[in-house]
Amino acid sequence: MNTTELFPETETWNIDKLISDINGVRNKYGKGEISPTHQDYLCGALVGYNPKDISRKLGLSGDGKSVRTAFSMEINPYVRELLDYPEELNNSMSWQRACVLLEKTGYKNYELSSQSQDVSGETNNKEIEIIDFNSELEQNNSYENSYLDTNIYIERPPIEEKCLKAILQPGALIRIKAPQKMGKTLLLEKMLNYAREQGYETAKLDLKLADKSVLTDLKTFLQWLCSYVSDVLEKSPDLDKYWQDSLGINNSCTRYFQRYLLAKIDTPLVLAIDNFERLFTCENIFSDFCLLLRNWYETAKQSDRMGKVWKKIRLVVVNSTEVYPTLDINRSPFNVGLAIDLPEFNQNQVEEMASKYQLNGHLGDEGIIKLMTIIGGHPYLIQEAIYNFKSQEISIESLLNLAPTESGIFSYHLGQLLESLQADSQLEAAYKQVVTASETAQLNPKTTFKLHSLGLVKIIGNDCVPSCDLYRQYFSMFLN
């Protein structure tokens, strides 16, 4: 039964837009999209059902505690931010007040709402109850503690120490590489925060958010880069003065940074580029931009006036795969500087994560070993499992038994990966070979890198295996 059948009153709300906007806020904090189950919770709450009634409508057991907790941690904080509600009132905002504000903000379809009234003019909707979805948070110490799941960072020594030392080095180039959802962006934010504490300027470009129009050609891309960094540094873009096509596109960009941006600041600048892999398929940008970054890095080594200027910059490049587009080794930024490969969590780090959720005593060594047997040390999967173990009244055995199914806590994540595979028949066939192999499977390098980027395989020499037993179980069923 779909949401509309469960809660027919939601037809008066623009649910798709609301969920899309909530996902936009969640993405800012490194959270994935709101799950289908939590979408059902949201729909029920919008039309006045309390947590216990939502549980009953969805066929869940219990008194609604799991709905209340999940709503408070996975939906309400992001709705508050979406509404830009005054910070001092954030913790006390009732859901009734949130519904009123959402309606005023334009998420209610007034035409359909008026059609839902009966002949007497009274609405058929349930009266919206004042539901305090924050009470569960207060019982768990504070809003900040419950919201910590979006900001929890588990260190993987000596990686953090290396990165923080490197960011202090004049002209540094730091390359962070790992599959999706391994914590690259959290590490990057930790580095940028540290740099700001040192008084450095920082500019972060997330290429995943770049408009397609920006990626049409090299000139458009580099002028966007110049304008973006100018804006971050609170300087008016001045391309007309410093950009000269007769000098070449890369030279014009270098000239703009050297004579305008770097020359005007007294402190170092950290320029971070996240999701760099988006450029891998931009043949008219990738190679020349890589050469540009390599030249900036090499120029910073010089002892002349130009070298002194370029020593101010620190470059951080973050990507999800090996670099499979062909590059001359002398033109590449991917074989110089400090290379960081983020590994999975080890058992001690998983125990630390459980401790952050005050669960280390409940899980114990045996529970953690069982957890890691099926999902390994994958940071995202570990955190999702631990969070759900705490927020739902479920045993670790039940949680893990359901994990590779459509009823499991990873169903949305697994479904997204399945869609990615099914969108590319060759990739789908290759991964089917991996999950059904008795040992390892050998694929062509480009396919291996794509699967590794998605986090679906571990590379062993020239071969690959499923990243974890969860993936092997799920995809061996659904790819067959």
Q: pLDDT in tens for each of the 480 residues of the chain? A: 566 677 777 888 888 889 998 888 888 766 778 888 888 888 888 887 877 778 778 877 666 666 776 776 678 778 877 876 544 333 344 566 677 778 877 887 655 444 444 433 333 334 333 344 444 333 333 333 333 355 689 999 999 999 999 999 999 999 999 998 999 999 999 999 999 999 999 999 999 888 889 999 999 999 999 999 999 999 999 999 999 999 999 999 999 999 999 998 999 999 999 999 999 989 999 999 999 999 999 999 999 999 999 999 999 999 987 666 778 899 999 999 999 999 999 999 999 999 988 886 778 889 999 999 999 999 999 998 988 887 766 788 888 999 998 888 898 889 889 989 998 999 999 999 999 999 999 999 889 989 999 999 999 998 999 999 999 999 999 997
**Strands 457-460 and 173-177, sheet pairing:** unpaired
pLDDT, residue 94, reads: 56
The whole-angstrom separation of Cα 209 and Cα 186 is: 17
pTM: 0.70
> Please, how many CA atoms are within 13 Å of residue 224, restricted to the half-sphere of its CB?
18
One-letter identity of residue 279: L
Looking up tokens 């499977």, which residue turns up? 441
The whole-angstrom separation of Cα 453 and Cα 177 is: 9
CA atoms 278, 279, 280, 283: torsion sign: positive
**Strands 463-466 and 457-460, sheet pairing:** antiparallel
**C-beta atoms surrounding 217 within 10 Å:** 12
pLDDT, residue 257, reads: 98
pLDDT, residue 1, reads: 57
pLDDT, residue 75, reads: 83
Inter-axis angle of helices 95-102 and 36-46, to 10 degrees?
90
The alpha-helical segments, DSSP class H, found in 29-139 are 36-46, 51-57, 65-74, 76-82, 95-102, 110-115, 135-139
The whole-angstrom separation of Cα 216 and Cα 213 is: 6
Residues 6 or more apart in contact with residue 296 via CB below 8 angstroms:
254, 257, 310, 313, 315
Contact, 370 vs 206, CB < 8 A?
no
Show the tokens assigned to 363: 């899980």
CA–CA distances in Å: residue 160 to residues 3, 167, 175, 341: 44, 11, 13, 12
Contact, 203 vs 213, CB < 8 A?
no
| Backbone dihedral angles phi then psi of residue 108, each to the nearest 5 degrees | -100, 135
| Backbone dihedral angles phi then psi of residue 209, each to the nearest 5 degrees | -95, 0
pLDDT, residue 12, reads: 83
**Strands 313-319 and 457-460, sheet pairing:** unpaired
Contact, 109 vs 115, CB < 8 A?
no
pLDDT, residue 354, reads: 92
Where do the DSSP E strands lie in 113-259? 173-177, 201-206
